[in-house]
Structure 1
Amino acid sequence: MRVAFASEPAYPDRPNEDFIGATADAVVLLDGASIPPGVTSTCSHSVRWYSHTLGSTLLAEMTQSAGPLPELLAQGIKHVTSLHDFTCDLTHGGSPSATVIMLRHTADRLDWLVLGDSTLILDTGTAEPEVICDDRLEQVAAPHRVRLDSLRGGTPEHAEARREYVETLGQYRNHDGGFWVASTDPLAADQAVTGTIPADQVDAVALLTDGAADAVNRYHLVTWRQLLNVLSQQEGPVQLIRQVREAERSDPHGERWPRSKTHDDASVVQVSR
């Protein structure tokens, strides 16, 4: 596999909470869930620490084992939890979390796993690529976004609404009827969306955090097919993120495109044969 990627933090002076890791036969992409000011975490570790620790653990597991991806994810979550369950209070749901995409090339097939609202795109040469995204967060979140989306970004009222929104979503995280992400419970891995496809049926694969997938989902700058065309160009992942940032800067207060924050960490991976 040939892998090209780009990742950019939401703001230059803040840590990037996304993680990208790749070998010749495996790719992992994690999007750490930012914790806004005013929301208390019961864990002393940062979101960046969690996404990078779990991401590097998963990549190592994928290079050492041909086991099912949900099994490897469960093992990874369990391992990272063991690194801080004696130093942090992990019982109140305030621990760092992350979405996960895992992609592995084994013999003549591609195995994939998606947990959370990051996006996996399989280009099978048809008019429309296959787009895989776990949309349970969006289904849960939509009715709770009304007040947040009605407020001008950058105001104290918007910041307070965002804090309330994040705290409300915390009640649905990793619960039946809610949405699932990697955090402290290995059983979340059983809720991942998974699949396998013959490798010779796939021309290219793209992995995107929601901050990059917003090029299609929120800003409607391109279609999924056009996004793949952008990524196939030289510096394609960088160019896609540049387009997203231009859209965000044109609407800093979320008046055209309501959103919880002006910018988000954005990461793109393009995999080709």
Structure 2
Amino acid sequence: MTTTTAKEITMPSATPATPVSRKVISEKARTVCGSLALLLVFLAAWQWGPGLLGMPEYILPNFMQVVRESVVMWNNSQLLMHFGVTAMEVVFGFLFGALLGLAVGVALGLSPRAEAMLSPYILALQIAPKVAFAPLFVMWLGYTIYPKIIVAVLIVFFPIMINVLSAIRTVDPDMVNLVRTLNAGRWQIFHLVELRSALPALFSGLRIASTLSVIGVTVGELVGGNQGLGYLLVDGEGQGNTAAVFVAIVALTLIGVVTYGAVVWVERKVLHYIPKVNTTTV
């Protein structure tokens, strides 16, 4: 019977970082530092640029004036409540538009006859300016959140539908035939081949739609709203308060950035099996 001494027992040591991983970390660090440097340059130009150019504050307020105005609006104009209303409208408009675009894109992709019949009407709906529909929705549904959500749905729908339709139509037929030889049913072919092949294109459309949803909601709030950041935009314009307008614009941008970042995060979780060289960039 053999005995094992303490010297013979070796604990697993942490794997040292490889040169490749260190290089990746270094590149990411340089990218982050470069982005932060550009942000600081932009903020510095915003703070001191208007004064150096001799612009009055009612034309282009500097950065600190916008920050002070945001504090005033937080305390007196219920900025957080309006921010929450717009964010909720953006999320619902984005989700409903994405689901509708996915469903219609899949249906048209699987049925060429349905695409030939419906594509002229879908194209006409896309060509029609969405701003023209916003007053109608307000007249029909009143000053509620529903007109803003519907406008966002109309704007979000088309890019997702087109991306999914194109992806379904370009599925590799050899892969479909291979799955059929394994006695796969129609649902299995769709789930295992067609839907998975369409996921990269779907997320590309979702990235675009995440920014367009903010535009749709803002249009609805500008046309007829008594709540939301679009309403604050109109209110600031009516008062000649340029700083308040900038506060609303920055808040809308923040909502768009967060929505886009959420889509990118979900995409990386879902499409983690695809090599990075084949995935879309941020």
TM-score, with structure 2 as normaliser: 0.26
- Work out which of the two has the higher radius of gyration on C-alpha atoms and give 1 or 2: 2
TM-score, with structure 1 as normaliser: 0.27
Determine which structure has the larger strand proportion and give its number: 1
Determine which structure has the larger helix proportion and give its number: 2
Higher relative contact order (CA 8 A, sep 6+): 1
